[in-house]
Structures are given as C-alpha cells and as structure tokens.
Amino acid sequence: MRFTLIIMFFVTAILIAQNPVELNLIKKDKVNWSKFMGQDRFESKYYLVGDDLEKLSKGEIVSYSNIQFGEIDQVDIFNSLKIALLHKNYNTIAILDNRLAEISIVNFNMISPYRAITKIANSNENSIWIFNTLNFQLELFDYNIEKTIHSTIPINENVLALQSDYNNVYALSKSYLYHYNYNGSLISKISHEGFDDFKLADNFIVFKKNNLLFYKALGNENIEVLKIQKKIIKQFFVMNQTLYIYDGEFLYNYQILKT
C-alpha cells in the first residue's frame, strides 16, 4: 500500500492541466536594465545596472554598489527593510535597509566552519536561509551571532532557486521542489520535469521552464500553464496577483486571472 501511494503521488505531482490560466496585460514599460530583481509591497522596483543595485520608488532612484565585492548574483526583497544580496564570487552576503544602506556584511570566508553559499532567501529577525554546497544543506543562519539555527537533511542536488516567507522555505532542484518549515523539517517533496526557476507568492507559486511559465496553487498538486504571448523571459517576479516579466527591453505587468 505504501508503495502504491508513492507512485500515485509522483503521477499527480507532474500533472499539468490542459486549460491555461488567462492573463490580462496591465502595462508595458520600456526600460534599460541589466536585470530586473522584483517589486516590493510598496510598489518600489529593484533592478541591476551593471554591478549596481537600484531602487525606483515614486520617481526617486537610490543605488547601492560595493567595489570590493563587485557583481551581485541574487537580491531578495521579501523584507524590504532588510534586503539581502549575494556576492557569490566572494562568498559574501550584504544586508541593506530600505535606503540601500549597508546594515551588515556577512563574509562566509571568515566564519567557521567554512560554507560555500550559492543561494539565499530572507527569513525573519536577523536570519537568512542559505544553501551550502559543501554539505548540500539548507541552513537558517543568524547573521548577528554568525551561527546556524536550523538545518535540513542533505538535498543531494544543487539548488536552482530558493524562496522563503516567515514560516516556510522552498528549494527547487533539478528533480524536485522541496518544502520545509521554519525548523528545517521536510513538509513535502514534489517531482517535476524541467523547471529551472520559481517565484513564491502569498498563496501560489509560478514556475519557469525555458520561456514558459506555470501556475500552482499552494496545497494543490495541479500545475497550469500561464497563457502569455511567446517572448523571451530574462527575469520574472510575482507580487499579489501581478506577474512581472522582463525580456531585456520591456517590463510587462500582467494580472493573473485566477481566484
């Protein structure tokens, strides 16, 4: 019986519904950015221009760069009062306030035991989820005391994308989407075929596979195609019911017509 249940779970995990989810184009803006990193709940947009992170809020632009660490590989704006940046080449995380001023610099080259960090996701208080490629574990790391609070069992695959809210963390590998609680206990492990990125919203997830996007409601195993005109998707982001797609020239804002 246990074997049968596992097989049934695997089949439903990769089931993609035939009816696509409709989208309504709200607006389309021509921009000149290197990468689009997202929009926060206050409608401020974050993007990279070269090695600089810029924040556009109500017509005002503030920027951040660090000559020592250079390229910014990841920006997590889940908590816009404590924005997390990953400088992967220097194994370093920068924590910024809402004016993009440095709050803290966490250099893992100087912290024992040594960790090699490739993905990050903001959590609560002074903690952040990190993926350590030396042991293939997610660690909830408190950067004030420089200690790991909780960790998961090894994933045994590289993490392609990492997203978190205050109570959960989701990790996408080549084969699975892992869902853990705040303590690092595994809640679910769902197989997939070919997803290479994802974004977490309040009650759903949007997956990316090449230039296709897919919608999955939390608590529902069905995955539905998002109906968009075929275009290049360099970066994408979700906030509330709005989907943002940047193709390298235009930023598209879509309303997701799904309840």
Q: Which domain holds residue 8?
A: 1-30+196-259
**Res 5 pLDDT > 80:** no
What per-residue confidence (pLDDT) applies to 12? 37
Where b means 16+ CB within 10 Å and e means fewer, 76-88 reads bbbbbebbbbbbb
Structural domain contains residue 44? no
What per-residue confidence (pLDDT) applies to 11? 33
Structural domain contains residue 221? yes
Bridge partners of 151, per DSSP, are: 139
Q: Pick the residue with more confidence: 100 or 193? A: 100
Task: Answer whether 70's CB lies under 8 Å from 113's CB.
Answer: no
Q: How confident is the model at residue 7 (pLDDT cuts 50, 70, 90)?
A: very low
Q: How confident is the model at residue 172 (pLDDT cuts 50, 70, 90)?
A: very high
**Res 2 pLDDT > 90:** no
What per-residue confidence (pLDDT) applies to 18? 64
Q: How many structural domains is the chain composed of?
A: 1
Structural domain contains residue 70? no
Structural domain contains residue 21? yes
Structural domain contains residue 61? no
Structural domain contains residue 240? yes
